[in-house]
Amino acid sequence: MKPVLKNLRTLALTAALAPLWANAQIAQLQPPEIAAHTYMLVDVTANQVLASKDVDAPVEPASLTKLMTAYLVFDALRAKKVTLEQRLPVSEMAWKMPGSRMFIDPKMQVPVEDLLKGMIVQSGNDATMALAEGVGGTKENFVRLMNEQAKALGMTGTSYKNPEGLTEPGHFTTARDLSILAMRLLRDFPEYTHYYSIKEYRYEGTPAANGRNRNTLLFRDPTVDGLKTGHTNAAGYCLVATANRDIPNVGSRRVLSIVLGAASTTHAPTRVRSC
């Protein structure tokens, strides 16, 4: 078993046993060492941090940035500013986005739902930009909305410069802020978060490659149902993962794991690719 995968299972066991320890007054185990800049394990059900390291250190979020982009798109859907069936144009800027792509082009008018799948499952920077322009009018206005929403959620250690997460000066967040965002995403928009558990997706008429969800924990553990991976050279390998498990004599328990800045796929908790 790879060292970090073993450590993450230790963290999951910590989460499962935490209520029993509290009741039995058993001493807590020391959190494991993980080869990453920062990490955080949260019992979402109990709103309790179970293990953490340097959660307020600023880090590059890479494609974890797309969690905020999705939050704003979900909010626009609920407010009926856009619909899932609505077709959005693909601008030259969206088409030419570097990094991970959904492979859409300016000849296409793509439904919002398919752009969401392209952003979430394929981590497509082109899909992300098309959504940002469709909801915000321009990239710049959408980024302003991202920062306003971060402030409203209490994400005091976050600054966004783009909607997709490519490296840019002044674009950063923290593990604590990502935990806030992830929990609010799950709580505020339960009707849309099923997109994060889709294992494969490809938009009709685009290349067959690059259709598999980067979050390989979805393929390894049936209780895992999200959320997002990310990678750039500057950010390292990153993951925000969540699982919902039924624990005997305890009940349903949701656990959120955030690991940021692993040095390689060997040290990362799951295989991730470029932003």
pLDDT digits 0-9 by tens, 80-114: 999 999 999 999 999 999 999 999 999 999 999 99
Residue 210, sorted as left (phi over 0), alpha (psi -120 to 50) or beta, turns out to be left
Catalytic-residue membership of 63: yes
Q: Please indicate, yes or no, if residue 156 is contained in any of the structural domains.
A: yes
**Distance between CA 78 and CA 96 in Å, rounded?**
29
Q: Please indicate, yes or no, if residue 207 is contained in any of the structural domains.
A: yes
Q: Please indicate, yes or no, if residue 184 is contained in any of the structural domains.
A: yes
Span 12-30, pLDDT tens digits = 444 444 443 344 333 455 6
3-state secondary structure of 139: helix
Residue 193 near residue 182, CB atoms below 8 Å: no
Using CA atoms in the order 171, 52, 228, 232, what is the torsion angle rounded to 10 degrees? 40
Q: Which residues pair with 224 in a beta bridge?
A: 243
CATH number reported for the structural domain that contains residue 92 in this entry: 3.40.710.10
Residue 22 near residue 224, CB atoms below 8 Å: no
- Interior CA angle at 168 toward 166 and 172, to 5°? 85
Q: Please indicate, yes or no, if residue 270 is contained in any of the structural domains.
A: no
Catalytic-residue membership of 66: yes
Catalytic one among 100, 117, 123, 228? 123
CA 260 to chain CA centroid, Å, is: 11
Tokens coding 34: 């993980």
Catalytic one among 53, 63, 100, 257? 63
Handedness of CA 263, 169, 42, 188 (dihedral sign): negative
Q: What range does the domain containing 28 cover?
A: 3-262
Q: Please indicate, yes or no, if residue 238 is contained in any of the structural domains.
A: yes
pTM, entire model: 0.86
> How long a stretch of residues is the chain?
275
Q: Please indicate, yes or no, if residue 162 is contained in any of the structural domains.
A: yes
Q: Please indicate, yes or no, if residue 273 is contained in any of the structural domains.
A: no
Mean pLDDT of the chain: 87
Whether 74 has a pLDDT exceeding 50, the answer reads yes
Number of domains in the chain: 1
Catalytic one among 53, 66, 117, 228? 66
